[in-house]
Amino acid sequence: METQRTPVLVAHRGYSDIYPENTLIAIEKALYCGACFVEFDVQISGDGVPVVIHDIELIRTTGMQGNVNQLPAQDIIAITAGEPIRFGDQFSNEKIPTLQAMVNLLRQWPSRKAFLEIKCDSIHHFGIERVMQNIKSIIEPALGQIIIISFNAEVLQLARTMGCAQIGWVFDHWHSRSLDTAISLMPDYVFADIECVPTSISTFENIHSSINQKDNSVPNQFTMTQHVQCQPPWQWAVYETSDATIALNWANKGATLVETNAIGKLLNHAVLNTKCCRDR
C-alpha cells in the first residue's frame, strides 16, 4: 500500500475563508494558525505604490467604485477592504494594505514565506520594468521570504535577473504552451488550477518536455505520463481547495503545495497538521 503523502498548505489570500482576503488580519491569522506559506496579490496604485488587492476594480472587496491603477495610494489605503458583500460591517476597519505594510508583518515571522502574485492588470498598465522596480525596492529586506509568482513569464524572467531568490509560474489552462513556458523558465514552483488539470493526469512526477499523447477531444490538452526522460526541477502547487481529502489526494499525485482559503480548518486535520509551522 502506498504511503499517504502530506502537502504543505498555502493560505490563499490569507485565511480568506473567514477573514477579508488580502488584508493584514487575513494574513496574520493564517500565520497564527501555523501556515508555512501565505499568498497575496499586488496591484500598483496610480502614483506607483504597490498595494495588496486582487481585483483592479474596487467594487467586489470594498463596495466602492474605482480602479486601483487610477487612484493615488493615499486614497486607496483609506478604503475599507472588509468585503461588505460577504461580511457586512464586521471588518469595516480593515483597509487595503500597502505592500510595505505586508512586508513589515511578514518580517515578524522570519521562518514563514509568502507567494507574492503580481497581477497582470498592473503589468499591462505600467509596464514590467516599472512594476518590478517598485515591488523589488520594497521587498528587498525580506527577499529570502518572498517568492514572486505570476501568470506573466516576462515578469518572472526579470524578477530572476533582478535577484529575487525564487519564482513561481502560474497557469489556469492546461495545454502544451503552459508546460513549454515552465520548461523555458525552470521556476522553483509551478502553480496549476485544480479545475484545469485533466482527469487523465494521474501524477505530476517525471514530467518532461515531450508531449507524448494528445487528447484529440480537447484542443491543446495533453497527457505527460509516457516516455519520461527526467524529473522537472520545480515543485508542483495546486489551487485551491477547502477540503482535506482533496488536498491529500493532490499530494498523492505529486503536488508538494496545496493552496486553500480555509487554512485554519485544514490545519486542524490530523494529517495536514503535521506540516504546519510553529515558531511562536
* CB-count exposure of residue 51 (10 Å: 0-12, 13-18, 19+): buried
54 is known as an active-site residue: yes
Joined together, the cell numbers standing for residue 76 give 486607496
Question: What whole-number distance in Å separates Cα of residue 206 and Cα of residue 229?
Answer: 7
Q: Which of 54, 173, 175, 208 is catalytic?
A: 54
What is the spatial distance between Cα 212 and Cα 224, in angstroms, rounded to a whole number?
Answer: 6
Which residues, in sequence order, are bridge partners of residue 39? Answer: 12, 115
Grid coordinates given for 48 = 506607483
Reference 40, options 142, 174, 158, 185; nearest CA is: 142
Residue 153, SS3 per DSSP: helix
- Cα–Cα distance between 164 and 148 in angstroms, integer? 7
Q: Which of 12, 173, 208, 227 is catalytic?
A: 12
Q: How far is CA 10 from the centre of its chain?
A: 8
Name the residue with cell 479545475. 195
DSSP state of 273: G
The single-letter DSSP state of residue 58 is S
User: Is 12 a residue of the active site?
Assistant: yes
Helix axis angle, 153-161 to 128-139, nearest 10°: 50
The residues assigned a catalytic role are 12, 54
